[in-house]
Amino acid sequence: MDRRAFLTSLGLAAAGSQLACASVAQNVGTGRRLRRVGIQLYTLRDDAKRDLERTLADIAGAGYKDVELLSSMNNFGMPPARLRQVLDQNGLRAPSTHVGVGELNDLDRQLADAATLGHKYIVLASLPGNERTLDDYKRWADRLTDLGRRSITHGRWAR
């Protein structure tokens, strides 16, 4: 290949890549649009500790429709029935909550709260930091499978 053919090929490749990028950029706005965008309350936990009602109102004011609650922080001491009222007042839904390992020990309570708050998902935030062996993971897999089976009978998913 001579220099002229090489430069022609290089130019065509560069132009082709730019045309492909422009084509993709045109289609970005016509693709799938998100209908609902939520926020994890953990990201605003300091504000929520100070004033949960105000924090939820601010979340709604910013345009969010969904919020993931924090059962692992006992929803900052607000009883589930009252929290449901606050969510409703602000037009928010709470399709999920984060729980810690301790909250899984009382799954029946978590399921009852989930029914009140409208959770579809109960998410285990993380495994204990000192339980990272293969045997530990196997035990957790068995336990989470059992919790998932129990949860699904209540129309919830424990993950």
Q: How confident is the model at residue 45 (pLDDT cuts 50, 70, 90)?
A: very high
Question: How many other C-beta atoms are found inside a 10 Å radius of the C-beta of residue 104?
Answer: 16
Find the angle CA(152)-CA(156)-CA(159) to the nearest 5 degrees: 90
Residue 84 phi, psi dihedral angles, 5° rounding: -60, -40
Residue 88, classified by CB atoms within 10 Å of its CB into exposed (0-12), middle (13-18) or buried (19+), is exposed
Q: How confident is the model at residue 32 (pLDDT cuts 50, 70, 90)?
A: confident
Model confidence pLDDT, tens digit, residues 73-125: 999 999 999 999 999 999 999 999 999 999 999 999 999 999 999 999 999 98
